[in-house]
Structure 1
Amino acid sequence: MAEIKLLGVSLSPFTHRVEWALKTKGVEYELIVEDTKNKSPLLLESNPIHKKIPVLIHNGKPICESMVIIEYIDDTFEGPSILPKDPYERAIAHFWAKFLDDKCLPTMGKALLGEGEEQEKAKEECGELLKILDNELKHKKFFGGDQIGFADIAANALAFWMGIIEEASGVIWVTSEKFPNYCAWRENYNNCSQVKEYLPSRDELFTHFQSRFHSAAAPK
């Protein structure tokens, strides 16, 4: 039997991406929870370039970067396809996944968790990015159409984590009035049976981020 280990953090959206793919394919695996402040020798050896989670170790061979890992899982194991088979649709899924990872997530992270001028600038840029996503999702349930897929999983932090962070911070600035199609997609994602049962604890995530905001606001 193939030995599959996943080095990750239980509340990480990037770890969750990989877990979702493994569970969708029905692949058994061992989750090895990492301490990102005290990285294990196994993590440093398995991902010597970026030194980050997640890392999938399949029969002793490490694969790094969550979306690369998902594509590897899709190609390696039997089960429902994650990426489209059609070359054009596959290319489009890759495009949006890259846009989400390279542009949206870093900017939204700064907008939600940054401070001062950097945060305000990020919020402005975030509004423009959300307009792009809102337009792309017009008349669509998911990025790929009617079925959840590769690009939607790339956007998992936007769908689930982002709303919880907003709530924990006490400031809600992504609304259905401003971004109706994006918010409808987010609701579809979080209520999708393929996703819902594999999401981490909402209460645990809320407590984690609420504590983070309280710590940041406490007098130094």
Structure 2
Amino acid sequence: MINMVSFYCWIFGYICGSIPSAYLIVKAISKTDIRQYASGNVGSTNALRVLGPKGGALTLLGDIAKSILALALPAYLGAGRYLFYAAGLGAIIGHNWSIFLKFKGGKGVAVSVSVLTLLQPIAGIISILLFALIVWTTNYVSLGSILMAMSWPILLFLFKQPMSEVYFALLLFIMIVIQHRGNIHRLISGTERKTSLKKTENIE
């Protein structure tokens, strides 16, 4: 019974995460397909590049909202922390491999940090501040995302949280590293794209 409930929470989280916020918002505002512009990634950073700060912020809010929705079911059931892990992981996988976009999607950063912050607010907020500092000083969103995710298991371990929480955070970090393989190679080679918070890409 417990395994079935976990499975249902995972499925619910996956469906919520699959809602392609960036795709829908860019399509509604600019009548274009976000997958055809800038990095082609279906996420908040690429929406920022295509639409500018307002569109990027709106997309980010959409990603946060679907993360909250994904965790609503385990919160309602109230049957154990593992249900939150299942739903949160489902939301991240859904975002990265959306059923509505032929199993394509984003890189899971916004959804991952939303889930982590909902489960561990202090660690989440500290990591967001770290992300903001890195992006502010380097303009590399990918670098900020990777280092932010790296901080999650470290912070939870230092805060003496249950090892199940640390392992969950470590899993999220590994998933983000996998999704950023290309970015890591470009960072090393010095060819990674920088992101401006003030202008959009030319999509004409």
If each structure's strand is expressed as a fraction of its own residues, which one has the higher value?
Answer: 1
Larger Rg: 1
Q: TM-score, normalised by structure 2?
A: 0.35
Point out the structure with the larger helix share: 2
TM-score with structure 1 setting the length: 0.33
